[in-house]
Chains A and B, each alone.
Chain A
């Protein structure tokens, strides 16, 4: 009997040590040096690279004042106020406090931060960059805006759950340059893995919201947003031409064959358009070096029989000519820098038809960028086309001009309506 009790006590002590002692906040020295104008400017640039503004600003409110609702599969969390307000912002923080949040995901008061703040990535940011970011945020006008309490479901709302998550999935990282690789590759890796936190969307997540190492950059559904992130892995080597197209797409939101939409349009709008060409090129250099990956099993479309598919194709062809061909071309060739090509386009023939269904239903504009300030738009068709017609035209698009993909069922569209 005593043995069992002692054993249990030892187990609990071990667990507590693992969860709490191993995850204690390390002391960090304050840098404290008054930042130069240059440092502040660098910080502003890095804030753009990290797309901090997207989560830390409610549209229409002052920049970086936080309070934006971030929906997660476990409930809602709200972003913090990054302006230097003494009570509600980071007015009383030191650069060491800030770096501890970035590197260890621990707030100034010792609270563990929810990993919706991607500190698994930011952990790799260099101290000097963290200090520059902090200097920039401190230079902003202070805005009083308290951070709303998170609304998470049990057990995710418990401190223990967060500790457990951290023990299982978080380890402070450090960016180590690879001397075998070029400077550009290393810079790209630093940006993509660190501030860019590209894997937050482009790597599928496990059931506790953890990034799946086995599916690194293989794309998948973006939690809660209804869009799919495309794979960044390369099933075949990316040609130089495609690489420079990708650079244009990232920087301007539009390229010869593509337009960014949905969450990626947001990333271009708030973040990538502001980055230097060198940095964009470095990111592309890194991305094109990613090894081929397994696309994780995404939500399969509803099965459509061969006969039904043939029928949808037949219905879809004239609908395409009537509604789509003016902009996207008779052969789906698109129009460079205006309308995306639909032939030979990864997004169009993806296993899951989510993105293309959303684009057809809701339409949309590419992001306004410095290079493409007045983008072209796509009308929403949800109001003017039946689910049957939308399924037909999408099935046609996914299987015409050399495209090959599963048919889209009208049910799939009704489900999204």
Chain B
């Protein structure tokens, strides 16, 4: 394939096959909810180069080298990533740079991007210097692993997996993310600047957390070792403790 020219200058035969693959990816989109598995090898040609703009913050192949904020996206489930790209583009998740980046990209391209990063290995990340007090450690661990029945708070592990490794296709893993990023997301859910499809279970959960909870649980999670295996594709979402638009 001649990489110097865009698809429009390829010969008619290729054009036709592109049309077919376009139709096919359209079908894929509509059946995304059914097809939990990540699709077979899609056309990856040159995607790494096309997505250099993303690498500036999220790292090569989506493994962020920046410890302070930017999340790694490598190995996150494709359905989750695709939904987030749509959320950023369409303003359900407010982030100026992300919105400007994605404003004029098609659903099909965003889906290709999501699948590309989903296929990358999350790699290992070094744990941050410990900044946890003993009290935070206890509170963070309790919230993450047991929740708080009195406040009707489910444990993080109930949805995000026993080792917080995530559950494809829609529930992201939480390990390997900077505590600042995790805390900012919970704060954004409280403030309404991050939204998921309704019913927005994470918004409900965030509303039940106070500042100390958020700090403790974010830091505790950031200290957990990366679950390097691919997020579990087994198990349905039937037994989730809350109703979540994000997994439907």
Contacts and interface: CB of A to CB of B under 8 A. Distances in A.
Contacts of B54: 377, 379
Contact of B104 (A266, A362, A382): A266
Contacts of A378: 53
B52 A364 contact: no
Contacts of B96: 362
B227 to A, nearest CB: 28
Contacts of A368: 104-106, 108-109
A372 B6 CA distance: 6
B5 A337 contact: yes
B58 to A, nearest CB: 10
A373 B106 contact: yes
Nearest to A58: B91
A59 interface: yes
B4 A327 contact: no
Nearest to A336: B4
Contacts of B108: 368, 373
A324 to B, nearest CB: 12
B29 interface: no
A371 B55 CA distance: 25
Interface string A27-61: 00000000000000000000000000000001110
Interface string B99-140: 011111110110010000000000000000000000000000
Given A59-B91, A60-B90, A380-B97, A337 B4 contact: yes
Contact of A374 (B56, B100, B109): B109
B26 to A, nearest CB: 12
A371 B9 CA distance: 8
B56 A384 contact: yes
Nearest to A266: B104
A4 to B, nearest CB: 58
B109 to A, nearest CB: 5
A374 B53 contact: no
A159 to B, nearest CB: 33
Contacts of A374: 7, 47, 50, 109, 112
A380 B101 contact: yes
B49 interface: yes
Determine chain A's interface SS by DSSP, over half rule. Answer: loop
A252 B104 contact: no
Contacts of A266: 103-104
B63 interface: no
A382 B57 CA distance: 11
A329 interface: no
A375 interface: yes
A21 to B, nearest CB: 45
A254 B56 contact: no
Nearest to B99: A59
Given A266-B103, A363-B101, A384-B56, A377 B7 contact: no
A371 B52 contact: no
B104 A372 contact: no
Given A379-B52, A383-B57, A365 B105 contact: yes
B163 interface: no
A265 B22 CA distance: 22
A52 to B, nearest CB: 17
A371 to B, nearest CB: 3
A367 interface: yes
Contacts of B57: 379-380, 383
Contacts of A327: 52
Nearest to A374: B109
Contacts of B92: 60
B14 interface: no
A195 B227 CA distance: 55
A64 B10 CA distance: 34
A376 interface: yes
A379 B89 contact: no
Nearest to B53: A377
Given A373-B109, A374-B109, A377-B51, A365 B7 contact: no
Interface in A342-382: 362-368, 370-382
A368 to B, nearest CB: 4
A128 to B, nearest CB: 32
A335 interface: yes
B27 interface: no
A379 B8 contact: no
A264 to B, nearest CB: 10
Contact of B8 (A58, A336, A372, A381): A372
Interface in A327-344: 327, 335-338
Interface of B: 4-9, 18, 22, 47, 49-57, 86, 89-92, 96-97, 100-106, 108-109, 112
The 9 closest A-B pairs by CB, nearest first: A377-B53, A371-B8, A60-B90, A379-B56, A368-B106, A367-B104, A269-B104, A59-B90, A337-B6
Given A60-B90, A368-B106, 7 more contacts: A363-B56, A364-B100, A367-B104, A370-B8, A372-B6, A374-B50, A379-B56
Interface of A: 58-60, 252-254, 265-266, 268-269, 327, 335-338, 362-368, 370-384
